[in-house]
Amino acid sequence: MSTVLITGGTGAIGAALTEEFARTDDVIFTYNSNKEQARSLMGKLNCFCAPMDVSDINSVNNTVRNVLCEFGHIDILVNNAGISLIKPFLDTSYENWRRMIDVDLTGVFNVTRAVAPSMVSRKSGAVVNVSSVWGVYGASCEVAYSAAKAGVIGFTKALAKELGLSGITVNAVAPGVIDSPMNTVDLTEEELAELVGETPVNRLGKPSEVAKAVRALAENRFITGQVLGVDGGFGG
């Protein structure tokens, strides 16, 4: 049984990740503001939850320290926490940009930096980062989001080379158009239909499909530095 830390566990993909790993492993998922949703999820599954703001290094260090004290080690880290922003570039403020980078990119650094030393000392571990197809291809009116997710991909590839000798794999998934509030609420029906039409399988992806891909990357010890598109062929 592995100990798995999942950030951003209350969103659609986060909840699917928690459910996927909780079947076989000790899972601790984090949340920022959705306390009631976190408690509800914890009540349904055999798992644990903890508050954490990935953009706040002190919050991250405290939570990771508590997890390590309670469980002794973290075998798998899934950096899933993130926010989105759909806004034309000329309407994107510095504050918009800074917040996006702080959560979606610096958050990945903060949590991985806190967890990695214990993995290195044990010479074992797996990190899976949740990026996006927009980090690969870019999206109009989502410059800040695309840039942050592209940064996650660069972070993944570089860290995989650095930590490989310590027995740690580092990979990423790049979800496409997934059936989640981030897409179904933020996009109009016409925009969503257009994206589905650009996806060869001609449907929205399921959060559970992303979760299964993350598990596959976490468990395969000979895959590292890779970005797996979970996108129905989008952009291919």
Catalytic residues: 145
Q: How are strands ordered across the β-sheet holding 168-175? A: 48-51, 26-31, 3-6, 76-79, 125-130, 168-175, 227-230
pLDDT digits (tens, 9 = 90+) for 125-156: 999 999 999 999 999 999 999 999 999 999 99
For residue 83, what are the contacts with CB-CB under 8 A and spacing of at least 6? 99, 100, 103, 104
Q: What pLDDT, on the 0 to 100 scale, is given for residue 180?
A: 86
Q: Selecting from 3.40.50.150, 3.40.50.2300, 3.40.50.720, 3.90.420.10, what CATH number does the domain 3-230 have?
A: 3.40.50.720
Rounded to whole angstroms, the Cα distance separating 23 from 174 reads 24
State the burial class of residue 2 (Cβ atoms within 10 Å of its Cβ: 0-12, 13-18, 19+): middle
For residue 230, the one-letter residue type is V
pLDDT digits (tens, 9 = 90+) for 36-69: 889 999 989 989 999 999 999 999 999 999 999 9
Q: Phi-psi region for residue 225, left (φ > 0), alpha (ψ -120 to 50) or beta? A: left
Residue 88 has pLDDT above 90, yes or no: yes
Rounded to whole angstroms, the Cα distance separating 80 from 40 reads 19
- The residue ranges of every structural domain in the chain are 3-230
State the burial class of residue 91 (Cβ atoms within 10 Å of its Cβ: 0-12, 13-18, 19+): exposed
158 and 105 in contact (C-beta within 8 Å)? no
